Amino acid sequence: MPTIKTRDGTEIYYKDWGSGQPITFSHGWPLTADAWEDQMVFFASHGYRVIAHDRRGHGRSSQPWDGNEMNTYADDLAELFDKLDLKNAVMVGHSTGGGEVTRYIGRHGTKRVAKAVLVGAVPPLMLKTAANPGGLPIEVFDGIRKGVTDDRSQFFKDLTAPFYGANRDGAKVSQGLCDFFWLQGMMGGLKSMLDCIKAFSETDFTEDLKKFDVPTLIVHGDDDQIVPIGAAAHMSVKLVKGATLKVYPKAPHGLASTHKDQLNADLLAFIKG
C-alpha cells in the first residue's frame, strides 16, 4: 500500500489516482479515504489527479498514541503535499476533514493551493462557548465519547441514521451504505477515535479561516444533524473573504454519498470556474 512516513514515524496511507490538476480529499470522523471514492472516480475520469489519505489513527494509517489533534493532522497533510510535490491543488474537506483543510491553510498557507472546498465542515467551532453561543454543549461530545467507549461498534451503527438522514421520513438510505460507514469506523484505533472527538469539537478555526486567500466554496446541508449549519457554514462564510455558500435543502451530513451527483457537479463547476 502507498504510504508516507511522517517526521514522528507515523505511516500515512494514501490513494493517488489519475493525472492532471491535483484534488485532495480529507475525510470526516470516523471514516477513511474510501468515503470519497464517489468523488475520486468521477474526477479522475474527468482528467484530474485525485489524492485522499487516511488520517493518522484512521483506516490503514498507523495508530500512534500521540498527535491525534488538528495541528498534527494538518502537518501530516502538509508532508503528503511535499512528498508528492503537489502544486495548484484543490483542497476538499468534509466534516473533520474540513477542519484539517482549514488548519492546513492556517499553518502552511496556500502556496500549493489553488482553491478550497469545505463540505459539512466543523469550522469555525462546534463547541458552545460564551463567544460561540450557537455551538453544541460539551455534554453532546461527552455523550459521543461515552458511546464510543462503551460499545463503539454499536455506536457507529446507530450513528449512521443521523449521519445520512436515514431517520427522516421518506429517506432512502441503503443498509449497504450504513455498513460501509461502520466498516470504515471500525478500522481506526480506539485511542485515535476518542482523541479526534476533542479535535473536531473543541478546536477553534476562526483565525485560520481569516487566512484563506483562494477561491472557497462552502457546501452544507440544512438538515445536517451532526454539524448544524447555523454555527458552521453560516459562520464560516462570514470569515472567509469572497467565499461562496451553497446550501443543499434537506441534505444530511453525509451528503457526499447521499447527494453525490449534485456535489460532483457543483465541485466540477467550481473547479473549472
pLDDT band at 3 (very low <50, low <70, confident <90, very high): very high
Cite the active site residues: 95, 224, 253
Q: Which residue has the cell 476562526?
A: 206
What is the separation of C-alpha 273 from the centre of its chain, rounded to a whole number of angstroms? 23
Q: Which residue has the cell 485511542?
A: 191
Residue 17's pLDDT is 98
Residue 89's pLDDT is 98
pLDDT band at 4 (very low <50, low <70, confident <90, very high): very high
Residue 41's pLDDT is 98
Instruction: Name, in order, each residue with C-beta under 8 angstroms of 120's C-beta and a sequence gap of 6 or more.
Output: 28, 94, 95, 98, 219, 220, 221, 224, 226, 227, 232, 253, 254, 255, 256
Q: Give dist(CA 123, CA 203) in Å, integer.
A: 8
Dump pLDDT digits (tens) for 127-184. Answer: 999 999 999 999 999 999 999 999 999 999 999 999 999 999 999 999 999 999 999 9
Task: Indicate whether this model's pTM tops 0.95.
Answer: yes
Q: Give dist(CA 62, CA 5) in Å, integer.
A: 10
Q: Alpha helices of the chain — where are they, by DSSP H? A: 37-45, 70-84, 96-108, 138-164, 175-187, 190-202, 206-209, 233-239, 255-258, 260-272
Residue 47's pLDDT is 98
Residue 234's pLDDT is 98
Average pLDDT over residues 183-205: 98
Average pLDDT over residues 97-104: 98
Contact 68, 191 (CB under 8 A): yes
Task: Set out the domains of the chain in order of their start, with CATH numbers.
Answer: 3-272 (3.40.50.1820)
Average pLDDT over residues 214-228: 98
